[in-house]
Amino acid sequence: ERLIEAIVAALTQDGNLLNEVERAAIEAQIQSLKVVCNSQDSSAIHKAVDALNLATEAFAAKRMDASVRKALAGQELDKLKL
């Protein structure tokens, strides 16, 4: 449940970084996980969590890129301490 809540919060905050297909893929995996969470099949739950994690990898990368861009906005490269 926490994973789903975290992803839904991320989608609310940064869903604009995704196109319709990417968002639909993530939402489909969220629904799949919700369905199997009602079962007692730990293997199916584990597979659904893995599938959701895989579906959100590109989204996580886009969020990180956006955060870095925002943090570096207006900064001069030669003045950054790297």
**H-helix or E-strand containing 3?**
helix 2-14
How does residue 82 score in pLDDT terms, banded at 50, 70 and 90?
low
CA distance linking residue 56 with residue 15, whole number of Å: 11
* pLDDT (tens digit per residue) in 47-65: 999 999 999 999 999 999 9
Dihedral of alpha carbons 51, 53, 49, 32, sign: negative
pLDDT reading at 77 higher than 70: no
Q: What is the 3-state secondary structure (H, E, C) of 39-59?
A: CCCHHHHHHHHHHHHHHHHHH
Q: What per-residue confidence (pLDDT) applies to 1?
A: 84
Q: What is the pTM of this model?
A: 0.82
Per the prediction, the chain carries an average pLDDT of 92
